[in-house]
Amino acid sequence: MRVSTSWVQQQSVGSMMDRQSDLSDLNTQLSTGKRINQPSDDPVGAARALDLSHLTADTAQYQRNITSANARLGLEDQSLSNITNVLGRVRTLLLQAANGSQSDDTRGDIAAEMVQLRQQLLGQANGKDGQGDYIFAGNRTGTEPFASQNGVSYLGDNGQRMVAAGAGLQVATGDPGSAVFVDIPTGNGTFAISANPANTGTAVAGSSSVSNPNASPAAWDGGSYSIVFTAANAYEVRDGGGAVLDSGSYDATDGGSITFRGAQVAFSGAPAVGDTFALGASAKQDVFTTLGNIITTLRTSNGGGAQMQNNINTQFANLDRAIDNITRTRGMVGARMNALDQQSGLNDDLTLQYKSALSDVQDVNYYDAVSQLGAQTTALQAAQQTFTKIQGSKLFDYLR
């Protein structure tokens, strides 16, 4: 095999260039702290590093979503707390108004305070979050949810804003005003009872409940019925068509409960013959209407009798349903915030795992890199020295 001088030079130069390239790569790794600085350094490792970078970025976004969601839910919880206080004050005032010692004037004073409380409630229902979005407007966050014109109307929708708090985890960041303030069942939540305005006796319907929904022979079916007092000490239960379903005696002195089809209603006072109380399935009534009805009742002139007491008791039950609904909503808000806190902790753990895995894939091992740097430097110097010796060697020098 014939070895030419040019071939030897090319081989030597190529060897030195390879050593210089290796040194350049090591210098880049040491300066950046990364073993993979371009995909060609390690195609498989680069793909894995890209996946881990995406997972880390996604988790960081989840954490930002959780921070934003917690802030919004915190504002909702504060609003609901304020609303609970307002409704609690309304309940206290209603208890005072139900006292037989009240006069039309004092009940009017109570009603005047309730007007202000109703305005406070409306203000809380139209509250905004830190970004200027309405909290209780559903997905229509730019629209004031409750408008006070000829009553209070809901202008939002029934949607809930959701955020991604983790892979596959969506959490609601609010509740629509329709669910919080509007769609509230009347009465005891199952049925409601109301007195006929034409009643002339002093009978008053008190607390009611479904004591036995599976009563035999007929269970509560959500129908419409009436309790008719046929005498001061006797009653009949009739269906919507007037058919008598049940009858019994009533003690006008001690009062008592009337039970049929699992439904139970407590009465007090002395009924007049023909006094009637309607009983039917609960409907939906917004809390603003409930407060409006309370104010109207308290402003009734020549009040204080059985009819006013029946109206107060009816609205009392509706008010308690509204308070229960607010309390239940606050419970759901608290549950969401707890879920977000737990997910935040999980996201922190995942972030550490992703970063550790990413470091293992792409970060340089400084001890190995420095060791390789010394070896590569020695190799380059050896190649340079070898080239110098070969370059200076000539046949004529040998012949001499």
Residues near 40 by beta carbon (within 8 Å), at least 6 away in sequence = none
* CA gap 292, 151 in Å, rounded: 9
Average pLDDT rounded to a whole number, residues 297-321: 92
Indicate if the pLDDT at residue 300 is higher than 60.
Answer: yes
**DSSP assignment letter at 134:** B
Residues near 176 by beta carbon (within 8 Å), at least 6 away in sequence = 136, 137, 138, 156, 157, 158, 159, 160
Q: What is the pLDDT of residues 102-117, one digit of tens each?
A: 899 999 999 999 999 9
Q: What is the dihedral of CA 317, 318, 322, 323, to 10 degrees?
A: -20
Average pLDDT rounded to a whole number, residues 369-388: 58
Q: What is the dihedral of CA 304, 309, 312, 318, to 10 degrees?
A: 180
CB 69 within 8 A of CB 340: yes
* CA gap 256, 265 in Å, rounded: 8
What is the per-residue pLDDT for 203? 95
What is the per-residue pLDDT for 194? 94
* pTM assigned to the model: 0.80
Percent of the chain exceeding pLDDT 90 equals 62
Average pLDDT rounded to a whole number, residues 286-305: 92
Percent of the chain exceeding pLDDT 70 equals 78
Q: Nearest to residue 161, comparing CAs of 144, 176, 178?
A: 176
Q: Choose between 381 and 224: higher pLDDT.
A: 224
Mean pLDDT of all residues in the chain? 85
Tokens of 201: 């006796």
Indicate if the pLDDT at residue 386 is higher than 90.
Answer: no
Least confident interval from 101-105, 113-117, 297-301, 371-375: 371-375
Q: Nearest to residue 93, comparing CAs of 112, 79, 73?
A: 112
CA atoms within 13 A on the CB side of 77: 16
